[in-house]
Amino acid sequence: MLAPLRDYLCPKDPMSSSLLCTTKEYYFARISVALNPNEPDFVKTQWIASEDANVEHLLDVFTTIDSNSDSIWHACACFLRHLRWHKHRLVILKPKIEGLPDDHSSKPECLFELSRLLHSVGSQAERKQLLTHALKLERERGDDRQVIRILRHLANANGLMGLHKEGIRLAKEALEMGEWLGDRVVQAQGLAALARRLRQDEQFNAAEEAASRAIGLFPEKGEEYRVCKSHRILGEIYRSKGKTAKAIHHLKAALVLASSFDWPEELFLVHYRLADIFCNEGRFDEAHAHIEHAKSYTANSAYNLAYAMEGQALVWYKQHKFKEARSAARYAAEVYKELGVAKCSRGQEKFSFPSEYSIKYMSTIYRDVVKD
């Protein structure tokens, strides 16, 4: 459909509209499929990027008139999950999700998926709040696997907010619970989460050990996505340790996997990490090349594009090309403003590259380097 459904399907009694109800069933069936990035059919779920407005309108209507329906709220969680993978943006459904009664069966799932979407657009404080609420609900329900999953994500949120000790504590709790369950994949996920938190706390040797163990625990088939992320994490750790050759080796291993499965977010992250390394080594042509590759994977994420432009500004700055640096930095700042994300809040976030330079250099670009 070329135009949003809301322009045509706004009857006084939505349940009386056979067209609206039929369309709802069609879309809800499509978003209810499992999202497994390790499967070839995963790419087919990208349809949501062009039809998200229609699905959101349907959810807005039916969560209003049928707010007690488990199937409606499950569809809402699925929608958020699709956006998290394929189109990073805020949604109008947030107040409704937060307003669900705590005993509603779908509330923890919706809170969790909403938190992941908020992470993709840089809202870490709100993400932490939602995860904390979801964790409380899942502990009360006694679902250990969901508790472990939320603990890992809550550890990540704390780490990205600079609360490294708390992040490490939560990651260790998730790992211990995974070991108690005896599930190798869950243990590997816990080790990968712990490795990220240890790296941020500059415990590089312990982080290296955890990430290496994670890669060893994941099976060769069926968990390629997490293996890819673990290689990227290990590459980040070696970069922090100053072991450039090993960092590049693991990042390229991640790049091979990400390219094979066409994972835009991982391709973006890996190219960005490589740009980081080459920029620090003064290999600016290679840094710019990887920045351009990173930008090519930001079609559905204005947030990532802004970050790429900020990184490009920093490469220009280190080359003393201040006019180009200012132009790229201004673009990034405008996008951050439009998204409602404070640039300074990004310092602890996804990418080591800008975070290490942002406060020191970006302010210089804006304030001191080039005069109008």
pLDDT tens-place string over residues 142-189: 999 999 999 999 999 999 888 999 999 999 999 999 999 989 999 999
Over residues 88-138, the pLDDT tens digits come to 888 999 999 999 999 999 999 999 999 999 988 878 899 999 999 999 999
Contact predicate 47/30, CB 8 Å: yes
pLDDT value of position 225: 93
Overall average pLDDT of the 349-359 stretch? 40
pLDDT value of position 304: 87
Query: pTM here?
Result: 0.81
What HEC string does the chain produce? CCCCHHHCCCCCCHHHCHHHHHHHHHHHHHHCCCCCCCCHHHHHHHHHHHHHHHHHHHHHHHHHHCCCCHHHHHHHHHHHHHHHHHCCCCCCCHHHHHCCCCCCCCHHHHHHHHHHHHHHCCCHHHHHHHHHHHHHHHHHHCCHHHHHHHHHHHHHHHHHCCCHHHHHHHHHHHHHHHHHHCCHHHHHHHHHHHHHHHHHCCCHHHHHHHHHHHHHHCCCCCCHHHHHHHHHHHHHHHHHCCCHHHHHHHHHHHHHHHHHHCCHHHHHHHHHHHHHHHHHCCCHHHHHHHHHHHHCCCCCCHHHHHHHHHHHHHHHHHCCCHHHHHHHHHHHHHHHHHHCCCHHHHHHCCCHHHHHHHHHHHHHHHHHHCCC
pLDDT value of position 274: 95
Q: Which of 46-50, 146-150, 331-335 has the highest mean pLDDT?
A: 146-150
Over residues 216-232, the pLDDT tens digits come to 999 878 899 999 999 99
Over residues 275-306, the pLDDT tens digits come to 989 998 999 999 999 999 999 998 888 888 98
pLDDT value of position 121: 82
pLDDT over threshold 50, residue 345: no
pLDDT value of position 10: 56
Could you tell me which of 112, 126, 207 has the C-alpha nearest to residue 164? Answer: 207
pLDDT value of position 141: 94
pLDDT over threshold 80, residue 321: yes
Could you tell me which of 214, 221, 227 has the C-alpha nearest to residue 253? Answer: 227
